[in-house]
Amino acid sequence: MAHSYLLAVDGSSGSQKAVEYAIAQAKLSGAEIVLAYVIEWSPYAFNTPEENADRHKRREEELERAKTLVVSPVATELREAGLTVTTEVQHGNTAKTLIEIALSHNVDQILVGRQGESGLKSLLFGSIAANLVQSSPLPVTVVP
């Protein structure tokens, strides 16, 4: 990609503000968008084979639900704005996985809303935006 942004979304109002910002910036610069949603998922669980099978099924259902409810509507909005969009939905540690997606797509910058849907969790453990700012090797724009 010549010039591109990773746009991280989670379906929240803060995420929608990042979408609006991404549309404006991409139109100005001619950038392409990699639209990403990460479902928090820990690989560290000690389960029986039956529990692992059930967990895999739930994981696949969550990925499909995220694509349908969060990613597809935003991808449509971006495409209707005339932008080129690639989508990624993955499980993992959110900040780490977003960085991995950004690096694999060779994007120039990560765009994220300041407030997501995590609420109390972010107060206790820190926000995704803060984690990205602290750990990303790429520039991160946090949209207020």
Higher confidence at residue 125 or residue 64?
64
3 state SS of 14: helix
CATH number of 4-143: 3.40.50.620
For the chain, the residue count is 144
* Mean pLDDT, residues 69-82: 96
Give the Cα-Cα-Cα angle 66, 68, 69 (nearest 5 degrees).
70
Domain chopping of the chain, boundaries: 4-143
pLDDT at residue 44 in the model: 59
pLDDT digits (tens, 9 = 90+) for 19-29: 999 999 999 99
Distances (CA, A) of 71 to 64, 123, 144: 10, 25, 21
The predicted structure's pLDDT at residue 124? 39
pLDDT digits (tens, 9 = 90+) for 115-139: 765 554 444 345 889 899 999 999 9
Backbone φ and ψ of 87, nearest 5°:
-115, 150
DSSP secondary structure letter of residue 34:
E
Q: Is the dihedral of CA 100, 70, 133, 24 positive or negative?
A: positive
